[in-house]
A = this chain, B = another copy of it.
Amino acid sequence: MSVIKLTVVGGGSSYTPELIEGILKNQDILNVSEIWLVDVKEGEEKLAIIEKLANRMVKESHTSIKIVATLNRREAIKDASYVITQIRVGQLKMRKYDEYISIKHGVIGQETTGAGGFMKALRTIPVILDICKDIEELAPDAWLLNFTNPAGIITEAVLKHSSVKVIGLCNNPINFYKKFADIYHVPIEEVSINFTGINHLIWITGLFINGESKIDDILTGKSQSYEAKNIPDFGWDVDFLQSLGAIPCGYHKYYYQTDKILKEQLEQYKENKTRADQVQEIEKGLFELFKNPDLTHKPKELDQRGGAFYSEAAINLICSLHLNTGNIHTLNVRNNGTIACLPDNVSIEVNCVVEKHQVTPMLVGDVSPQIRGLLQHVKAYEELTIEAAVKGSWNLAFQALAMHPLLPSTDVAKKVLNEMLEVNEHYLPAFH
């Protein structure tokens, strides 16, 4: 078994300590030799804090992993075995704009869904493709695990415009597994879930506990599904779930309960307290904790941050890849016919068999019309968004946003787009 050089792009992120913790837990089977944490100039200070914490954690664990923190991305990527991207172009400051401009025009403002996710994608795609050029040149055999949101769109951009071996990863699926294992008091291995969809728009069409179907428990409201903490929770209408015949994920609420959520967001907006504001505050607190020279493990306050089990999902995946286990993970990969109603070249989020040399999706086939309409609509929006970002095309960007189901008209889409482009000017050289 070869040794591992693991590179984390966006290494100064508050998520990194959890990732380090996950590696340390599995170091006996993974045998990681080096972890490179790379970040941009603006993140230098945070990176230094994380570096020190990481070194304290390694020391505490009595392992011998070398931690390298650097602003030199090419050096960090060179000969990496795995590259993890968890970047936030424009930091939380730009996320705040994404949310505020949306809500101001009466449109859902959200980090990954709708106008907010659209703008985040426009900012992020040029950067991720630039990173991929480095990987193509300096670590062509590396697997790229992309966490960066909107993870489905970002992964698809890489699939379409790069030769890098990319896998998109989200914490939604692992949370469902954990939730159902918890409900049914079984180990996670006895939970089998059939997922259908795309990142942050994923339906559960089958739930089996050790071979026995349990989905009706959820559809009838007998048991509760997993609900992400960062998404408003007004509960599900049981009639709706039963007629849908599938369990939606949390992000579906932005489509299925648009009116209620928008109302709540408008109130938060008035009080200057949207999700972006909350996260900024949490982050500040976390880094204060991270600075503590006595801290030698991930602080429990990190759980508030959202993204629960992200790093567990990532470490599990790296283990399966590295040990060639053939285990099943729910991942963002090229469709290629797996979901019959979507184009071949788009990213989807489905169960995959993970081997060292390949990640193979398990067939989904046809999906019900209940699922199909919204799924196809949002995917077409995603395709346009990627094309707009890559070409720097205002026309395509306008069409992408105008056709998104959460935009009430082309007029509103145009206003939102133009205001967003203005404040993001610095991040969008291709649009000039």
Contacts and interface: CB of A to CB of B under 8 A. Distances in A.
A396 interface: yes
A422 interface: no
Interface string A48-90: 0000000000000000000000000000000000000000000
A362 B365 contact: no
Chain A contact patch, size range: 35 or more
A257 B206 CA distance: 38
Contacts of A190: 324
A194 B359 CA distance: 12
Interface string A287-309: 00000000000000000000000
A355 B212 CA distance: 11
What is the count of identical protomers in the complex?
A: 4
Contacts of A402: 240, 243, 256
Interface in A338-388: 338, 340-341, 344, 351, 353, 355-358, 360-363, 365-366, 369-370, 372-374, 376-381, 383-384, 387
B365 A411 contact: no
A392 to B, nearest CB: 14
Interface in A306-330: 324, 326-328
Nearest to A260: B409
A258 interface: yes
Given A260-B409, A328-B353, A373-B378, A399 B244 contact: yes
Contacts of A394: 243
Contacts of A242: 395
Contacts of A237: 410-411, 414
